[in-house]
Structure 1
């Protein structure tokens, strides 16, 4: 039996799919489940986010007063960030941990829990399975390693599958079985048709999802993005953070001016602002406790925040690049502009906490090419880089991944355990003249 390049590629394709197929199926299914998380939470949480405006000219409590109310009512919950919205009837979101938070009525100071707790719990479970296969604690690195290898296998399956799909003859008869669904097929012929058709049309999106997943999972892949664009890779995995902002030494006895004046100045920086978020921890005197950097539920490496109406999706929030200790620190505000591009971008404005002076303004346009590409990769992975249309494409391709796993296993089973047909049974219709067929 002659050995051809097609057969050489086919068998690693088949074996990789069998070994990693179950994990790929789990990651694909959970990817579908969390594709529209921001929109679903915004819809389910809409009532909890609205307040009754006492009157058109009703005074609002200051941001400092709102944070103080949260500290008083939640003594064990340390506020880690604040997000404000431009609508008069919108609450103020005060983060109290990595992803937890409470809503505060800006007129009365009433502290309320976030709504849609059932949905939040569902998405939390889906994200744990998507990233760590549901592992917790010390087992998470193992889960992360398995999903990372499986994602790499999926990328190999996508690329090798394209070669196996490639028709020997570019004729309509040869290509029809692998370009669109055919009616009346059963068994092996149906699985072959579905596997190749779905694989072909999902291929571009799957390559983007798996390639960006590689960059998120492995530091060497993240560093490669910077090297290929001619930039120095950062020490930590993820987009390179801007250097710390140096704050002029304040006079002896000077105290921070508070959050409210800084929010007022932040509004002036981007008049058409959509959300303004600050991570707490900066602006303190030496040796004061620092705020914590939050990690995104879908990205294993930080990036600029993608915010929906329900609040910021944790990522590389303001304050994440601040020095820890050693003197006064700037407070950095992430300001999202209405209709801004890219959709995930925000202006990072750093203020002197003692004077309110702007120390640095950084926008997406100021990033070097490596940082831009690396940030795009993070949000292409979830589809959010292109808005709801990108999320829809990611969801459809992920759903296609589930079907590819199913049909791939079915084709593999029939290859290794063929079913015997009675002598008088009609032959099963052929799916395509080309062999060997792809699996997974």
Structure 2
């Protein structure tokens, strides 16, 4: 057992030194993005005053007839102080007053650009274009190394003797310690309290970054994994001459979902229109439905919710929101942010302990 523990220790130390900088980068960027949505909404600074009844999708889209390219979706919020969102793919968003249709601009582009820059490092190591695949592969390898460090770290954390003082030393911060003793204490304590949320974050990150992991999730759920290929860009389209029926369809969706918090109209549309309805914040996929409405009759022709998905798709969808903590709302985001902070401390203290092990001894011997 002593040999096994010693072997795992040196593997833990070696891989930690090899992947430390990459793990630190993922941790810091993860901390910065923990409350991205709330920060962006605050930075946008929209102050909308309710003046009568809000406009429907027909009026909002009619004002875009002179636009070179219509949006890919049109988003409405139940909150009367929130603007209507014209989403142009993932790259651009334009906002308007829900009561007048007046454009409110693109929000705080500086803050949005900052988070876009941070996300590019978190996902692709700052690479763009064709080299994103290389950056994603490196991040994926680093994520697997981090998973190995967490598993071996949990094993090494277990004390040789379960005494009160021994357990206290690895579960509670000791303020009076300095130097190596302090780093050892911090490394154990932060690792202990952050182990479970970090395992959730890293395992979900592995599924997100590794196609084989996604395939494994579907197989474990007893479902055939979908064929993975390149996403096709939507073909350009122009708004139809008549938008009649959209407002009535929108009213049907609202009346059939009395607890709705946000509704997103998908474009393009023809004889039917597709709406994505959310009854809660975006981290709850189980409270979302996709509803298709006939524009001629205002009747619902199709309604699909989370329960209609297979077990593999359900699991994969949850994994996306577990990774950011948004599945648990603001408390979940807070836990994810604290866990990412703890992982940065683990890297720092791990480097400090290694430095003292390899360099301090040499200086003492000299």
Look up the match of 1:218. 210
Q: Which of 338, 342, 367 is the equivalent residue of 2:309? A: 367
Query: How big is the shift at 1:335?
Result: 0.8
Q: For each residue in 1:74-123, what CA deviation from the matched residue of structure 2 results, as whole angstroms up to 9, or x when unmatched?
A: x3443110011234454321112314211122333311213233321221
Q: Which of 150, 168, 185 is the equivalent residue of 1:193? A: 185
Q: CA 1:149 to 1:413, structure 2 compared with 1: closer, same or farther past 3 Å? A: same
3-state SS in 1 of match to 2:264: strand
Q: For each residue in 1:388-438, what CA deviation from the matched residue of structure 2 results, as whole angstroms up to 9, or x when unmatched?
A: 111111000100011111111111222222246779xxxxxxxxxxxxxxx
Residue 270 of structure 1 pairs with residue 262 of structure 2: no
Kindly indicate which of the two structures has a greater share of residues assigned to helix: 2
Look up the match of 1:205. 197
Q: Which of 337, 347, 350 is the equivalent residue of 1:405? A: 347
Q: Which of 99, 106, 124 is the equivalent residue of 2:98? A: 106
Residue 347 of structure 1 pairs with residue 341 of structure 2: no
Cα distance between partner residues in 1 of 2:154 and 2:125? 28
Matches within 5 A, 1:25-424: 25-45=24-44, 47-48=45-46, 50-54=47-51, 58=52, 60-72=54-66, 75-236=67-228, 257-281=244-268, 283-284=269-270, 330-338=272-280, 342=284, 345-419=287-361
Q: Is the 8 A contact 1:226 1:371 kept in 2?
A: yes
3-state SS in 2 of match to 1:418: helix
Cα distance between partner residues in 1 of 2:341 and 2:135? 22
Q: TM-score, normalized by length of structure 1?
A: 0.74
Cα distance between partner residues in 2 of 1:78 and 1:341? 27
In structure 2, list runs of 5 or more residues that go unmatched: 230-240
Q: CA 1:268 to 1:32, structure 2 compared with 1: closer, same or farther past 3 Å? A: same
Identify the range of structure 1 (61-70 vs 270-279) with the bigger mean alpha-carbon deviation: 61-70
Look up the match of 1:245. none
Q: Which runs of 4+ in 1 moved over 6 A?
A: none
Q: Is the 8 A contact 1:81 1:95 kept in 2?
A: yes
Cα distance between partner residues in 2 of 1:145 and 1:87? 40
Q: TM-score, normalized by length of structure 2?
A: 0.88
Computed over aligned residues only, the root mean square deviation of the Cα atoms, in angstroms, reads 2.5
Q: CA 1:180 to 1:348, structure 2 compared with 1: closer, same or farther past 3 Å? A: same
Query: How big is the shift at 1:128?
Result: 1.1
Q: For each residue in 1:18-54, what CA deviation from the matched residue of structure 2 results, as whole angstroms up to 9, or x when unmatched?
A: 1111111011001011101112222233x42x43444
Query: How big is the shift at 1:357?
Result: 2.8
Cα distance between partner residues in 2 of 1:339 and 1:82? 17
3-state SS in 1 of match to 2:85: strand
In structure 1, list runs of 5 or more residues that go unmatched: 238-253, 285-327, 424-440
3-state SS in 2 of match to 1:417: helix
Cα distance between partner residues in 2 of 1:85 and 1:421? 64
Q: CA 1:89 to 1:121, structure 2 compared with 1: closer, same or farther past 3 Å? A: same
Query: How big is the shift at 1:126?
Result: 1.2
Identify the range of structure 1 (388-397 vs 103-112) with the bigger mean alpha-carbon deviation: 103-112
Cα distance between partner residues in 2 of 1:167 and 1:234? 45
Q: Is the 8 A contact 1:256 1:354 kept in 2?
A: no
Cα distance between partner residues in 2 of 1:155 and 1:341? 24
Q: Is the 8 A contact 2:283 2:328 kept in 1?
A: no
3-state SS in 2 of match to 1:335: strand
